Amino acid sequence: MPSCKDITNHTSEYLDRHMPWHKRIGYWLHLLMCVHCKRYVDQLKLTISTIGRTQDATPPDVSDEQIKDISKCLQEQMAKTDRE
Amino acid sequence: MATPSLPSDEILIPKLLARDELAYNQIVSAYHGLMVHLARAIVGSAIADEVAQESWVAVLRALPKFERRSSLKTWILRIVSNTAKSRLRHESRTVNLGDALEDSPIVDPSRFKANAHWATPPMNWHADTPDALLSRTELSECISSTLSLLPPVQRAAITLRDMQGLSMEDICKVLEVSESNGRVLLHRARSRIQQAIEEHLKR
Ligand SMILES: [Zn+2]
């Protein structure tokens, strides 16, 4: 059975389901019995979804105009490469 | 942009190689925002656009040699990551993976008893949704500033996983790290933010 410290060291693996099943069972049993770790894991889960909701989380908007500019500039650059 | 949905890699790649204008527009429309987003995580917003532009040129030059061992998207993001990292090196800022994997504890050891069980357990946040949490004064600023203090590779990992939703496998290809190192980077980054939230709520 993992200790509370072990629980905090492997929370992402548990939440992202990257944990082998035998470790997962021990982890899950610990969470059934330990309210503190249950809270810790819930808070990491909440942290992750909150990160996804902050301003930094959204890729910048690219306008149609920018897309055309970049695309045109790249086409010109590649045409130049083709000639070389 | 009202571009029709992006065609599959199999269809798109030959068109890009043939310098098809619509294909260029489609691919720029689909990935430019994500590329700038990732570049920002590694080099900061001041030069992120420049890094993305530079990456596009590298992508198109290397495309004839693309071996399709990953999706085109993953391969493009890997080029962005490498362009951004070499840019950091140029400015003699480090992209030291060792620092980002540093062996410092996830939770302050003084919060545990000798038997590794909690002595100072997590406090109650009185919030169980992101909205409830983000309604706290300046919490979103606190998250932003904590993100800005993370080592660049950790910030890249969290951007790719928790913001862009890539799989761990793709993230490791993009950042060129092993699966176990990728997980460590991500968990450290998330834990730092969790800790910052807790400290912020204590105030
Ligand atoms: Zn526990």
pLDDT score recorded for residue B102: 73
> Closest Cα of chain B to A73: distance in Å?
10
Amino acid occupying residue B43: V
pLDDT score recorded for residue A44: 98
Q: Is the ipTM of this complex over 0.90?
A: yes
Task: Write the CB contacts of B31 (distance below 8 Å, at least 6 apart in sequence).
Answer: B73, B76
For A84, other C-beta atoms within 10 Å of its C-beta total 4
Chain A, chain B: beta-carbon pairs less than 8 Å apart: 148
- Statement: residue B3 has pLDDT above 80: no
pLDDT score recorded for residue B1: 43
User: In angstroms, rounded to a whole number, what is the distance separating the alpha carbons of residues B62 and B153?
Assistant: 24
pLDDT score recorded for residue A71: 95
Q: What is the pLDDT along chain A (84 residues), one digit of tens a residue?
A: 899 999 999 999 999 998 999 999 999 999 999 999 999 999 999 999 999 999 999 999 999 999 999 999 999 988 888 787
Q: What is the pLDDT of residues B178-193, one digit of tens each?
A: 999 999 999 999 999 9
Most distant CA atoms of chain B, gap in Å: 66
Right CATH for B9-91 from 3.40.50.1100, 3.30.300.180, 1.10.1740.10, 3.40.30.10: 1.10.1740.10
What separation in Å is there between the alpha carbon of B113 and the centre of ligand 1?
11
Q: What is the pLDDT of residues B48-102, one digit of tens each?
A: 999 999 999 999 999 999 999 999 999 999 999 999 999 988 876 666 676 767 7
**Which of B159, B167, B163, B144 lies closest to B38, judged by CA?**
B159
What are the boundaries of each domain within chain B?
9-91, 109-202
For B143, other C-beta atoms within 10 Å of its C-beta total 24
Q: How many helices (H) and strands (E) does chain B have?
A: 10, 0
CA atoms within 13 A on the CB side of A13: 20
Please, which residues 33-62 of chain A have a Cβ atom closer than 8 Å to chain B?
Answer: 34, 36-37, 39-40, 42-44, 46-62
Range of the domain at A50: 4-83
The three-point CA angle B33-B34-B38 to 5° equals 120
pTM above threshold 0.95:
no
Number of separate domains in chain A: 1
Q: Which residue has the tokens 């019995």?
A: A33
Q: How remote is the C-alpha of B12 from its chain's centroid?
A: 25
For A12, other C-beta atoms within 10 Å of its C-beta total 23
In this structure, which long-range contacts are made by residues B72-75, counting pairs with CB atoms below 8 Å and at least 24 apart in sequence? B72/B9, B72/B12, B72/B13, B73/B30, B73/B31, B73/B34, B74/B166, B74/B170, B74/B173, B74/B174
Q: Are the Cβ atoms of A70 and B194 closer than 8 angstroms?
A: no
Mean pLDDT of chain B: 92
Residue B72 · residue B60 · CB < 8 Å: no
Query: What is the CATH code for B109-202?
Result: 1.10.10.10
